[in-house]
Structure 1
């Protein structure tokens, strides 16, 4: 394959042109290195048919490797702190690439009169493996498109499409009875590659932010945060920047799902004892620190759009399972100590 399997398998080194023997493919399979995803995916392939021939297994592995490479490159480029214009440009670049995959695969399927039953139903077609390979490529193209939307759609004005709508819009068909792409069910990657922070090093501040307008109704940093936890909190705020939850000026990044992660972050801090239990105002009775004091402090610290009081309250109550799932999806939250 020359440059990009998603194009080459359709136009250059096609599946049918590859006339190497089954014995040769059996030799090649263990030599084909696997590309590992560097960040926990949100989607995975659930394909309706298992590959049996060595050639088909080889091509599935090759497609998996190419998909993982694109996945890693996409996240490396987009998972960063940069200008809105730059991120919008990058999103559109990847969107255009993945749309071209979908369109080209559809054209190939149409030109070759391929149908899913040709490889799903045993004995339905002598060309079953060829069709299987192209539909597996199709499934991976859909996965990449969905991953882009799920993670970075805030950088685009493009319509957000469901998997069913992708089948309708790009493949002019009803979706298959069993969708090819499903929510990821594997173990989270414990040491994901850190995000890029374009535009300078972030220096966490172990105090109130002097560029925020003072508010007497909000606790001070010293009143809320235990002195013994200030260094640990600073490291965690550096992680918030790496995870694209806040930027290097302490401003919340208003991205879908970010507020829930902030709420889970605050609840984890509370449960791990980062906050004082009471405050002692001058010449007044001591006052217990409550949830509202915590969420108001961080809403002020992280700026517009960051108030996660509702989400925090829900996580304390009926949506505790959602909080637990966020700890699984974002292992760094579960590692707060």
Structure 2
């Protein structure tokens, strides 16, 4: 049992015992199980199960107990507790940067990030959650994991909710559940790329998009089409080719777009943009003289590609700070906003874009 005993009772400065419902900030081990049970209208055993995040408590009952804890002012001890970050691997620099930033922002609060590289929506997600949920896990973060996939297996989310473990999502939320969602504004990201190319005179702009049913990819496509439509460019939907987030995916998608005589390509990731450059150069064309290319994520290595790649950057620091701030609030059993919070991306121009070539 965590932090509460029948033998320990908190006292006010004048020696009185606080009445149920009176808000006083109580450290671990300073209030009675019976007090919380009376206030919540449940048994002491139920309070114990909620505190220890055990099965067998309905969502409504769990919320009654959590509300009683909030009224009393009880805070769960946080020092040394774990925040599990579920992420689709660390090969993509963005995910490594995000994990480092999240760890740095959680550390001052006595929380430690443990990284779980998983195939989103796979059994490995639930395996990671099952492995950590009984060890005093404080919270979890779905970092572009199953939360970004339509119709994915969300049993990991269900397990966290059944155990009363708070979690949040980055770059898309689950259809079920009302956890906080913190995302880059992918509609705006696509608009920034289209706006830059339009100002350079490009009108035949194609998009190497991520797979259908992936929330960030779908949003970038929607933003791309809206931006093209707002500028009076017709037929943009025919210039969107979907593939995997990879160099090969970008190469295959770019090959299809080059057959459609595009003069510029917006890619859904930096890897896809590098694949597009490979497809362009294999045809004897040049970047940016013949075809301009823009990536997404703004990896640090882009200064050293040939040519240096223009890219839209996700606000890593702002995303990480918002994640840490929200999680700490949730762990303290305080209310948080559950509508999606959108963070502004930024465009970084380098040498992979240039004015449209003469007809």
Normalised to the residue count of structure 1, the TM-score between the two structures is: 0.25
Which structure has more RCO (C-alpha within 8 Å, separation ≥ 6)?
1
Normalised to the residue count of structure 2, the TM-score between the two structures is: 0.24
More helix by share: 1
